[in-house]
């Protein structure tokens, strides 16, 4: 696969981050009692902030703050409860770090308040299709969008990539109609979100390159997911090595952003993948025909 050119993800508060040239890690900060892997560990503001700052020290450049578990069959929370969990954490982090802050929500109200508190990105697990007003909010504020594919609450197409295209094309139509610029958007194929079997998730990994048809940066969110447990036989907290393996494999296929629980192990795996890609790129340049006018570029 040809390595993608560098590009910038432009986000709220006049910030941006370069993608593709190197891997970018988004750290998961769950301010929830019931997330599948680390529920309750960072439920207080102090613990969540401490965890987030350690993630930055370990190599994260984006912090994804969530106040409602998105695991299968998780109980929903009210907007007020979600906001009470996440807003103090975002406010505290915006004072203490220059890292980009993402709010993991599908609610426009929560997203608006989070951006006001200092967040730069909205990570919507329903791909703008539950509350399309999030797209208008992005256009208004300049917030970055992570638009995720999901198969929940609908009938999926049989082919896994055709279903990605069917769903994400609709999401991108919503974004375009609201006036969201393409340099604000990253797409997430939604590993584990109504991909019913380990095989379905593994096929999505194997065919990940086909998602470059959208011409947009891609985020990989495999961290500690159930399909990795099926492959390794390990419980969620023991799946970090498997996650790092998927991160490296998906980096080779062009993923730009990696949403993970354990930043340090994924940083190392991605450093190796980035170094290999750089070596391959250098080798490709060296092998060009000297008569090629592009050979000296």
Per-residue confidence at 286, pLDDT binned at 50, 70, 90? confident
225 is catalytic: yes
The structure's pTM equals: 0.91
Q: Give the model's pLDDT for residue 33.
A: 78
Question: Is 175 inside any structural domain?
Answer: yes
CATH number of the domain residue 136 falls in: 3.20.20.20
Question: Is 225 inside any structural domain?
Answer: yes
21 is catalytic: no
As a whole number, mean pLDDT of residues 229-249 equals 97
Question: Is 60 inside any structural domain?
Answer: yes
74 Cβ partners below 8 Å, 6+ apart? Answer: 34, 35, 68
Total tally of structural domains belonging to the chain: 1
Q: Give the model's pLDDT for residue 37.
A: 58
As a whole number, mean pLDDT of residues 213-225 equals 97
| pLDDT at residue 296 is higher than 80 | no
Note whether 17 and 52 are within 8 A (CB): no
Question: Is 295 inside any structural domain?
Answer: no
Per-residue confidence at 136, pLDDT binned at 50, 70, 90? very high
134 Cβ partners below 8 Å, 6+ apart? Answer: 106, 108, 111, 122, 124, 128, 145
Mean pLDDT taken over the chain: 92
Note whether 117 and 91 are within 8 A (CB): yes
Note whether 103 and 123 are within 8 A (CB): yes
181 Cβ partners below 8 Å, 6+ apart? Answer: 10, 139
Which of 30-34, 59-63, 109-113, 137-141 bottoms out in mean pLDDT, i.e. has the lowest? 30-34
Q: Give the model's pLDDT for residue 153.
A: 87
From the list 195, 225, 239, 251, the catalytic residue is 225
Give the chain's largest Cα–Cα span.
65
E-strand ranges in the chain read 7-11, 15-19, 24-30, 62-66, 100-104, 121-124, 144-148, 185-188, 219-220, 257-260
Angle at 57 between CA 55 and CA 62, to 5 degrees: 50
Domain that holds residue 82: 7-286
Q: Is residue 235 packed enough to be buried (19+ CB in 10 Å), middle (13-18) or exposed (0-12)?
A: exposed
Question: Is 239 inside any structural domain?
Answer: yes
As a whole number, mean pLDDT of residues 194-200 equals 93
Question: Is 144 inside any structural domain?
Answer: yes
SS3 assignment, position 37? coil
Q: Give the model's pLDDT for residue 3.
A: 44
For strands 219-220 and 185-188, give the pairing.
Answer: unpaired
């Amino acid at each position: 696969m040809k390595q993608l050119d560098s590009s910038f993800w432009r986000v709220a508060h006049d910030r941006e981050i370069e993608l593709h040239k190197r891997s970018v890690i988004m750290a998961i900060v769950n301010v929830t009692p019931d997330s599948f892997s680390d529920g309750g560990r960072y439920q207080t503001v102090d613990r969540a902030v401490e965890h987030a700052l350690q993630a930055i020290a370990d190599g994260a450049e984006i912090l994804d703050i969530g106040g409602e578990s998105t695991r299968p069959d998780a109980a929903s929370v009210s907007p007020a409860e979600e906001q009470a969990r996440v807003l103090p954490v975002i406010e505290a982090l915006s004072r203490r770090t220059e890292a980009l802050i993402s709010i993991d929500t599908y609610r426009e109200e929560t997203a608006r308040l989070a951006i006001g508190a200092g967040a730069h990105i909205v990570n919507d697990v329903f791909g703008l299709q539950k509350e399309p007003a999030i797209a208008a909010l992005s256009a208004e504020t300049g917030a970055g969008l992570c638009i995720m594919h999901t198969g929940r609450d609908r009938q999926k197409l049989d082919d896994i990539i055709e279903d990605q295209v069917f769903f994400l094309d609709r999401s991108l139509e919503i974004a375009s109609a609201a006036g969201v610029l393409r340099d604000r958007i990253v797409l997430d194929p939604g590993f584990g979100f109504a991909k019913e079997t380990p095989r379905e998730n593994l096929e999505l990994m194997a065919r990940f390159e086909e998602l470059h048809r959208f011409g947009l940066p891609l985020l990989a969110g495999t961290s500690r997911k159930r399909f990795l447990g099926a492959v390794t036989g390990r419980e969620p907290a023991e799946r970090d090595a498997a996650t790092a393996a998927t991160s490296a494999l998906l980096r080779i296929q062009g993923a730009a952003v990696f949403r993970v629980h354990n930043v340090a192990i994924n940083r190392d795996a991605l450093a190796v993948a980035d170094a290999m890609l750089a070596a391959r790129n250098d080798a490709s340049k060296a092998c060009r025909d000297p008569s090629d006018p592009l050979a000296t570029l």
